[in-house]
Amino acid sequence: MEKSYVVGIDIGGQTAKIGIVDARGTVLAQTAIKSNDTQSHEVFIDNLCNAVKSLVEKNNIVMDQIRGIGVGAPNANYYNGSIENAVNLTFGGMKIIPFAQLMTEKIGLPVRLTNDANAAAMGEMTYGVARGMKDFIMITLGTGVGSGIVVGGQLLYGHDGAAGELGHVTMVRNNGRICGCGKSGCLETYTSATGVARTARELLDETDRQSLLRNIPADSISSKDVFEAAQQGDELAKDIFKFTGNMLGQALADFVAFSSPEAIVLFGGLTKSGDLIMNPVVESLNANVMPRWKNKIKVLFSQLKESDAAILGASALAW
């Protein structure tokens, strides 16, 4: 039987999205399951395999037509197919899960794993705004900050498969914010969606400035609240985006010195804030980059639907 389809899976902190993809890159059908309702990776893999099978059957495809499964997940190791110390996953924690092997044993199909940001980069390169580019950096701005680095048309995996942890370069060397990774001052603690909320709480706490955000209980302020306040002209909220974009631009300037990309593609929840984040990022990048690259590096928002990019990218692993 001809194996005309692949399955792409995007595992995030809250949900795992599953899609059936054909050779033209169309997501024929998709579904999602919770990824945070168990601390057992065995239970999660069972749930995931059941969801895949049920999605396939519902769409009048048989499992024999599926060539393989590509999975994007946090802390995934491309080389050995394991998920390593994924502290942001409830079933993760400080352990090494041979995810691809366990899933293959369960479902009888080859499974390839890569980290979620790499999967998004593959999706962007194949179907998105980085089509035809050989050198670009994908930065995902979600709960955390992830990255997928493409050099010479290939994803950069490095010696151990874990290259591209750009959320964890150190931006603040003294009294930096504590990061989930065990370090402090990491980019992620400032420019992720949670970092934006953290900045809001700090600013509200440390100053007397008026702000619409004071109407919201400090603990429940989200980056979306900050965005909405900024849209209504709230100066403090606008300053939070300036601070965030400035920090991100400084980091991007250093990344450019590393791999000299044609473009940097921003992806994830925070990009919904549009110019509020883009303008300070571009300004800061050009103020901090070496003169040879000033105004030469494109900064682009992803063109793919957030759900599709990761599913498509992960599915590309399975061909």
Residues that bind its own copies (CB under 8 A): 84-85, 134-135, 149, 151-152, 154, 156-166, 168-170, 173, 181-183, 250, 253-255, 257-262, 288, 290-293, 296
Q: Which residue, 69 or 248, has its beta carbon nearer to its own copies? A: 248
Q: Which residue, 224 or 298, has its beta carbon nearer to its own copies? A: 298
Both tokens of residue 95? 């352990």
CA-only gyration radius of the chain, Å: 20
The CB-of-295 to its own copies minimum distance in angstroms stands at 13
The CB-of-134 to its own copies minimum distance in angstroms stands at 7
Q: Give the residue carrying structure tokens 């980059």.
A: 289
How far, in whole angstroms, is CA 220 from its chain's centroid? 23
Q: Which residue, 18 or 150, has its beta carbon nearer to its own copies? A: 150
Q: Which residue, 272 or 298, has its beta carbon nearer to its own copies? A: 298
The CB-of-258 to its own copies minimum distance in angstroms stands at 5
- Residue 82's CB is within 10 A of a number of other CB atoms, namely 22
Strands 298-301 and 263-267: parallel
Q: Which residue, 56 or 163, has its beta carbon nearer to its own copies? A: 163
The CB-of-291 to its own copies minimum distance in angstroms stands at 5
**DSSP-assigned states of every residue in 89-144:** STT-SSSEE-HHHHHHHHHSS-EEEEEHHHHHHHHHHHHSTTTT-SSEEEEEESSS
Percent helix, percent strand, percent coil in the chain, to nearest 5: 45, 20, 35
Rounded Cα gap, residues 282 and 232, in angstroms: 23
Both tokens of residue 65? 């037509």
The CB-of-278 to its own copies minimum distance in angstroms stands at 21
Q: How many CA atoms lie within 13 A of 157 on its CB side?
A: 15
The CB-of-131 to its own copies minimum distance in angstroms stands at 15
The CB-of-300 to its own copies minimum distance in angstroms stands at 14
CB-based burial label for 295 (10 Å; 0-12, 13-18, 19+): exposed
Rounded Cα gap, residues 315 and 319, in angstroms: 7
**Phi and psi for 169 in degrees, rounded to 5?**
-75, 150
Q: Which residue, 45 or 150, has its beta carbon nearer to its own copies? A: 150
Q: Which residue, 29 or 151, has its beta carbon nearer to its own copies? A: 151
